[in-house]
């Protein structure tokens, strides 16, 4: 009997010590019936210098975005050699397999208009990424991930930032030609990815990433944007009708730095169906938030619950970008902009005066800083699931590993989504000092209270540097 018990104990110990079997497929997800848990495939088909500084190192100082990168490369003997290797190697099937294995159910894939429609006179971009996008959607299908297509850069530039492909340019709002070409780019996406082959894989389309009408000098830019949103909806819904069973590609519009409450009543049912509002929750790009303590950051995340819940009553609301990091220390170190981070974190850092202490290799970070990142992650994901869920920015980065979900998971110390789904969090139930669960428990969505004005970065995006 003793020997048999010993054998059972040995078998149990060996089983516990064995590595977990890789998941064959990502968990299922259905809009309106379960949270989006996803990650952005940043820095791949739309370049951003802070994600892949190696592509910009050694080039002239004026090479700072996709357009200037192309202008430089097209003057070289083998202009497509470097970008071709990047497209082939930065993201592969193995990345999608790891994403699915972590318990994520969605990938958001940014793509620029220059990969979808012909260029016009004066435009210079590296073209040819569309085939890589199709390959990526195939990878997603094979591992069960849903795809959120994201038009990240529009003709003329929609926000002045390098993520639009054109740093310092904002002419998208100036004329209908830009709107028409943007619609044409969306039509290319729909004609390919609305085919039966991709049914159940491509489930949503972000029609324009982070438009910022605050920065435009054109007359009535917000009205221009609303006109585009309606046109984009019609284009998508004409090809992908909504069905009583819940079918039809979800049309995602950006909050556009207005405020979540601003969009109350816009594009509501029954005239519009399966529309979602995309809000990006960053607390690292202004002096006030950079000066917050770790605990104050957590408190601000928890305070977002009421406005997210009320926004979700109006339109499905998803947090399409966020980070666990409390600073942009690594974020803009390679774009020529000043490095900004919180000097008040000194007690948490081994080397408080060096960005490497919080943005380099995770094995150099202090336990306190690692714990904060985990707590930030667990809190934010819990909060955003009070609406439709979240898509983290981003999957990988060369040096700014405090923004790399892959680095977190590979290190084994950030809670994987499959554990979040089971309620297995290192720091337990988030926001325990708040009564949000009781506030909304048993209350129908139509009778929820009006949202309390938020303390997040919701408006006046002119001073922000967003992904």
* C-alpha span between 405 and 332 (Å, rounded): 18
* C-alpha span between 147 and 157 (Å, rounded): 24
Query: DSSP secondary structure string, 190-226?
Result: HHHHTSGGGTTTEEEEESSS---GGG--SSSHHHHHH
Q: How far is CA 457 from CA 114, 144, 257, 313, 338, in A?
A: 30, 34, 8, 20, 20
For the annotated catalytic residues, the residue numbers are 210, 321
**Phi/psi of residue 211, each to 5°?**
-65, 140
Cα distance from N-terminal residue to C-terminal residue, the chain = 63
3-state secondary structure 347-410: HHCCCCCCCHHHHCCHHHCCHHHHHHHHHHHHHHHHHHCCCCEEEECCCCCCCCHHHCHHHHHH
Q: Are 249 and 203 in contact (CB under 8 A)?
A: yes
Please count the residues of the chain: 467
Q: Are 254 and 213 in contact (CB under 8 A)?
A: no
Q: Which spans in 267-322 are helix H?
A: 287-290, 294-302, 305-314
Give the pairing of strands 106-112 and 250-254.
Answer: unpaired
* C-alpha span between 124 and 375 (Å, rounded): 43
């Amino acid at each position: 009997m003793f020997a048999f018990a010993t054998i059972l104990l040995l078998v149990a110990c060996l089983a516990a010590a064995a590595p977990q079997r890789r998941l064959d497929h990502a968990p299922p997800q259905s809009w309106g019936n379960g949270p989006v848990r996803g990650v952005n495939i940043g820095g791949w088909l739309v370049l951003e210098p802070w994600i892949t500084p190696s592509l910009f190192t050694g080039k002239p100082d004026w090479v700072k975005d996709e357009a200037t990168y192309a202008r430089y490369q097209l003057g070289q003997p083998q202009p497509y050699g470097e970008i071709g290797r990047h497209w082939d190697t930065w993201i592969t099937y193995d990345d999608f397999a790891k994403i699915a294995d972590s318990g994520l159910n969605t990938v958001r894939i940014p793509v620029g208009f220059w990969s979808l429609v012909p260029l016009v006179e004066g435009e210079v971009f590296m073209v040819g990424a569309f085939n890589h996008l199709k390959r990526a959607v195939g990878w997603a299908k094979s591992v069960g991930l849903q795809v959120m297509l994201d038009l990240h850069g529009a003709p003329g530039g929609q926000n002045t930032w390098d993520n639009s492909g054109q740093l310092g340019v904002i002419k998208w709002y100036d004329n209908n030609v830009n709107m028409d070409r943007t619609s044409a780019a969306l039509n290319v996406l729909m004609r390919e990815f609305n085919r039966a082959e991709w049914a159940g894989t491509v489930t949503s389309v972000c029609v324009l990433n982070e438009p910022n009408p605050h920065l435009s000098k054109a007359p009535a830019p917000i009205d221009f944007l609303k006109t585009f949103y309606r046109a984009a909806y019609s284009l998508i819904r004409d090809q992908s009708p909504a069905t009583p069973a819940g079918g039809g590609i979800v049309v995602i519009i950006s909050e556009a730095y207005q405020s979540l409450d601003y969009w109350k009543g816009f594009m509501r049912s029954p005239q519009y169906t399966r529309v979602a509002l995309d809000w990006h929750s960053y607390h690292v790009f202004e002096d006030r938030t950079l000066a917050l303590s770790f605990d104050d950051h957590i408190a601000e995340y928890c305070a977002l619950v009421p406005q997210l819940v009320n926004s979700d009553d109006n339109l499905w609301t998803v947090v399409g970008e966020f980070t666990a990091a409390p600073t942009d220390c690594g974020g803009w170190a390679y774009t020529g902009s000043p490095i900004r981070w919180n000097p008040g974190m000194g007690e948490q850092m081994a080397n408080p005066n060096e960005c490497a202490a919080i943005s380099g290799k995770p094995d150099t970070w202090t336990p306190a800083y690692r714990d904060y990142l985990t707590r930030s992650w667990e809190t934010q994901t819990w909060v955003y699931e009070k609406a439709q869920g979240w898509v983290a920015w981003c999957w990988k980065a060369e040096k700014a590993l405090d923004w790399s979900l892959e680095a977190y998971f590979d290190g084994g110390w950030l809670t994987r989504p499959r554990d979040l789904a089971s309620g297995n969090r290192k720091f337990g139930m988030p926001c325990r000092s708040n009564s949000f669960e009781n506030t909304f428990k048993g209350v129908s969505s139509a009778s929820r209270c009006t949202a309390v004005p938020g303390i997040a970065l919701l408006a006046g995006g002119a001073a922000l540097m967003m992904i």
